[in-house]
């Protein structure tokens, strides 16, 4: 199966099968036609498509934890699922072979990014609301939280490990899911740590580019390289 094929995601099991087979599954429509859940989802399973609670938006936390896959803003600031098979190479490529301390020591990360990364690392897993409060990110406090958390996800130092929902006095969930953050090292454990720097960043990049070519056979290589930046 490729993203050029006609298929419909109509259940959480369908989505997990696609993530397992494709390796890289963006949530939203992007520059490459057909390369998203949004373009293949059964309309009844999209937000507002039915009265069912278990649509594509509410699947996110269960899918992350059932599959032990990575989820975060990895694609031009937009969310994407990445299977555990492919995430070590993707992280190696995006980190350019650096762990965060080495990146900072070489002057490639700001002190503010370091401060936020270390706060998450020390308290992971942590929901975004208490994280902001703990780090004094908010009105009258430190600025740039959204930009930094997006950048740390793009660089694969931080991932989303779950989504939690507020509950009313009757125990009913409501509102949007609140993101919970952690590091890949803590989420995946030794399996990730042993693999992430096994290859050179260039070797990891070529492997990922090859997989993108496999699952997007109609896309130009230039477009694939552009979207991977």
Q: What was the pLDDT predicted at 138? A: 86
Task: Provide mean pLDDT across the span 61-67.
Answer: 96
Confidence of residue 73 (pLDDT cuts 50, 70, 90): very high
* pTM of the shown model: 0.93
Q: What is the pLDDT of residues 79-130, one digit of tens each?
A: 999 999 999 999 999 999 999 999 999 999 999 999 999 999 999 999 999 9
**Best CA proximity match to 75, nearest among 42, 31, 19:** 31
**Domain spans in the chain, listed from the N-terminal domain onward:** 12-228
Q: Is the pLDDT of residue 60 over 80?
A: yes
Q: Determine if the peptide bond prior to 199 is cis (ω within 30°).
A: no
For residue 178, list its beta bridge partners: 164
Beta bridge partners of 166: 174
């Amino acid at each position: 199966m490729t993203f050029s094929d006609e298929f419909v995601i109509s259940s959480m099991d369908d989505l997990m099968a696609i993530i397992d087979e494709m390796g890289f599954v963006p949530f939203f429509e992007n520059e490459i036609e057909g390369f998203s859940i949004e373009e293949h989802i059964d309309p009844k399973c999209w937000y507002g498509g039915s009265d069912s609670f278990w649509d594509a938006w509410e699947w996110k936390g269960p899918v992350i934890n059932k599959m032990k896959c990575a989820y975060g803003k990895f694609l031009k600031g937009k969310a994407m699922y990445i299977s555990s098979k492919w995430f070590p190479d993707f992280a190696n490529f995006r980190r350019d072979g650096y762990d965060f301390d080495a990146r900072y020591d070489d002057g490639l990360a700001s002190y503010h990014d370091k401060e936020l990364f270390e706060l998450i690392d020390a308290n992971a897993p942590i929901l975004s609301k208490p994280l902001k409060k703990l780090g004094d990110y908010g009105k009258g406090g430190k600025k740039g939280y959204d930009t930094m958390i997006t950048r740390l996800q793009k660089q694969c130092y931080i991932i989303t490990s779950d989504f939690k929902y507020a509950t009313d006095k009757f125990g009913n969930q409501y509102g949007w899911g609140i993101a919970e953050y952690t590091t890949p090292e803590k989420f995946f454990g030794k399996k990730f740590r042993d693999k992430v720097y096994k290859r050179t960043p260039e070797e990891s990049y070529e492997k990922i580019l090859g997989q993108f070519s496999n699952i997007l056979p109609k896309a130009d290589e230039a477009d694939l390289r552009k979207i991977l930046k």
